[in-house]
Chains A and B, each alone.
Chain A
Amino acid sequence: RGARLTLSLCPQVSAAAAAAGAFPKRVKVVEVGPRDGLQNEKNVVPTPVKISLINMLSETGLQVIEATSFVSPKWVPQMADHTEVMQGINKLPGISYPVLTPNLKGFQAAVAAGAKEVSIFGAASELFTKKNINCSIEESLERFSEVMTAARAASVPVRGYVSCVLGCPYEGKISAAKVAEVSKKMYSMGCYEISLGDTIGVGTPGSMKEMLTAVMKEVPVGALAVHCHDTYGQALANILVALQMGVSVVDASVAGLGGCPYAQGASGNVATEDLVYMLNGLGIHTGVDLQKLMDTGTFICNALNRRTNSKVSQASCRL
């Protein structure tokens, strides 16, 4: 397999505890608001606001904050300022600031701008891959292998995302075996972690369990993360099931930033505040200060002139 670049941030999960259906003692929350969140917001956010957002998030105790995407501004205008953002943010020690790099060019630009960790995006659906990046899954993995080679040479860890793990806006149902196959390929290529994304939020606890059971045959649970969308209100229930199966890394977006590009008006990412509220209630350690997180959510919602998608934030609002 070659040298795997592991981070000391990985929380510990005992296999016995996971088997018993007990919850992990610690969960690593991966904050995707500044990238996945903002990318799916209508209004283009000025660079200083993005930088302030990330800086505020850095003060909450979050250990991983996805900062931006080194993709062509033609495709993703919201992320056009990726270099400025990367160079402008305070990089606090102990916090990782991964960035998306869809290809070698993006990777090189990212590293030149100071990135120390990158992410690549695969999918469990052929149609989705075709529509999204105009190639097949196999071709996309070939592109990524270039990034992997360069990353390994530069000692840069790579996180792999698999989209459409519980359903695809074009293909509909997605087989758990396919998700396992793509995850295995990306893990074998050298990704230290695979984030399984319910891209359109159609998953429910049953399909989550079925999918994870298949994936866990190919990828160790300690290297898995879940990225649940709340489009159908199922996110926290799905995350709960993932935790019960031993997953201890969960992606979320402050204020639930980022709608669903496939369902107009629908919500997208699960709100980090709501996730942390649940984990706090379960006695699971995250290191995140919920109040500071809510304040950050308030800041970005004001800047975007939108209401928060976080129920916790709405509940804590005094009118």
Chain B
Amino acid sequence: QESQVSGLPEYIKIVEVGPRDGLQNEKVIVPTDVKIELINRLSKTGLPAIEVTSFVSSKWVPQMADHEEVMRGIERHPGVQYPVLTPNLQGFHSAIAAGATEVSVFGAASESFSKMNINCSIEESIEKFEEVAKSARNMNIPVRGYVSCALGCPYEGSIIPAKVAEVSKRLYSMGCYEISLGDTIGVGTPGSMKRMLEAVMKEIPQSALAVHCHDTYGQALANILTAIQV
């Protein structure tokens, strides 16, 4: 059955990142019970994947300080995945102890961004993720990899597609089942999206790719349309 606009997939998996990525970037600290209510309501909408929280030090991300309570408090609907962020092995172990059955790791295509965000180089961050990936593999826990700054960096500006492909490939090779390519500051446009995806698709099968577009410049839906057309 052909989709109306030719070349479009019949089904798209929507990964809901509101409770984690969304709330993390909101000024107001949201009470735990509100977070749980949010996720429970999202679970009833038919969304197949809902990113719940982040097992990161509350010193760095106060909004996610209640990660354990949230993880334990939410309803787990059958057929819905509830991934959590785990920046390192320690976070990974806490996540598993709290009942997580899928985790995510966050790389970046920009050295400056990596340094400013998690205070280490891309290479060092990959080493940390490899530890997580190894433990995850042993426990049959799927790992999703994110690549930030895929279409531009707040510090470095332009990012070359080859770099995005390189980092994506590292994450995929270490066992990430899916790579989410993030236009972190929303500067991308359909042209840069296409070029970046073409470079990444040389290294990673299309079915293992996701896009995470920010709407900072109003380009998100146009960029997403381009991605689903590619």
- A and B: partners? yes
A interface list, Cβ under 8 A from B: 205-207, 209-210, 233-234, 236-237, 239-241, 271, 274, 277-278, 280-283, 310-312, 315
* Given A240-B226, A241-B225, A277-B189, CB of A311 within 8 Å of CB of B217: yes
Give A239 to B219 CA distance when docked, in angstroms: 11
What are the residues of chain A within 8 A of B4 when measuring CB–CB? 206-207, 209-210
Interface centre among B216, B218, B221, B222 (most CB of A within 10 A): B218
What is the 8 Å Cβ interface bit string for chain B, positions 192-230, against chain A (1 contact, 0 not)?
100000000000000000000001111101101110000
Interface residue SS majority, chain A: helix
- Listed A/B pairs (12) with beta-carbon separation below 8 Å: A207-B4, A236-B221, A240-B222, A277-B217, A277-B218, A278-B222, A280-B189, A281-B190, A281-B192, A283-B191, A311-B215, A312-B218
Give A210 to B217 CA distance when docked, in angstroms: 28
**B217 and A274 form a contact (CB under 8 A):** yes
**A236 and B218 form a contact (CB under 8 A):** yes
**B222 and A236 form a contact (CB under 8 A):** yes
Residue of B nearest to A256 (CB): B218
**B218 and A282 form a contact (CB under 8 A):** no
Give A241 to B4 CA distance when docked, in angstroms: 12
* New A-B contacts (14) at CB < 8 Å, excluding given A210-B4, A282-B189, A283-B191: A206-B3, A206-B4, A234-B221, A236-B222, A240-B226, A274-B219, A277-B219, A278-B190, A278-B222, A281-B189, A281-B190, A281-B192, A311-B218, A312-B218
* Given A206-B4, A274-B217, CB of A315 within 8 Å of CB of B226: no
B interface list, Cβ under 8 A from A: 3-5, 186, 188-192, 215-219, 221-222, 224-226
* Given A205-B225, A206-B5, A209-B4, CB of A271 within 8 Å of CB of B191: no
Give A282 to B3 CA distance when docked, in angstroms: 25
Chain A: minimal CB distance from B92 (Å): 35
What are the residues of chain B within 8 A of A239 when measuring CB–CB? 222
Interface residue SS majority, chain B: loop
**B186 and A315 form a contact (CB under 8 A):** yes
Chain B: minimal CB distance from A215 (Å): 16
Give A310 to B219 CA distance when docked, in angstroms: 11
Give A241 to B5 CA distance when docked, in angstroms: 9
**A281 and B191 form a contact (CB under 8 A):** yes
Give me the 7 closest cross-chain CB pairs, A-B, nearest first: A281-B189, A311-B218, A206-B4, A274-B218, A236-B222, A237-B221, A282-B191
Give A195 to B192 CA distance when docked, in angstroms: 29
Give A210 to B6 CA distance when docked, in angstroms: 11
Give A237 to B219 CA distance when docked, in angstroms: 8
What are the residues of chain A within 8 A of B215 when measuring CB–CB? 311
What are the residues of chain B within 8 A of A271 when measuring CB–CB? 218
What are the residues of chain B within 8 A of A315 when measuring CB–CB? 186, 216-217
Give A237 to B190 CA distance when docked, in angstroms: 10
* Given A209-B4, A282-B191, A315-B186, CB of A240 within 8 Å of CB of B217: no
Chain B: minimal CB distance from A166 (Å): 13
What are the residues of chain B within 8 A of A240 when measuring CB–CB? 190, 222, 225-226
Give A45 to B115 CA distance when docked, in angstroms: 49
Chain B: minimal CB distance from A181 (Å): 21
**B188 and A281 form a contact (CB under 8 A):** yes
Interface centre among A209, A274, A311 (most CB of B within 10 A): A311
What are the residues of chain B within 8 A of A237 when measuring CB–CB? 221-222, 224-225
Pick from B5, B216, B218: contact of A205, CB below 8 A.
B5
Give A207 to B4 CA distance when docked, in angstroms: 8
Residue of B nearest to A209 (CB): B5
Give A81 to B217 CA distance when docked, in angstroms: 34
Give A312 to B3 CA distance when docked, in angstroms: 32
Give A281 to B216 CA distance when docked, in angstroms: 15
Give A239 to B189 CA distance when docked, in angstroms: 13
What are the residues of chain A within 8 A of B222 when measuring CB–CB? 236-237, 239-240, 278
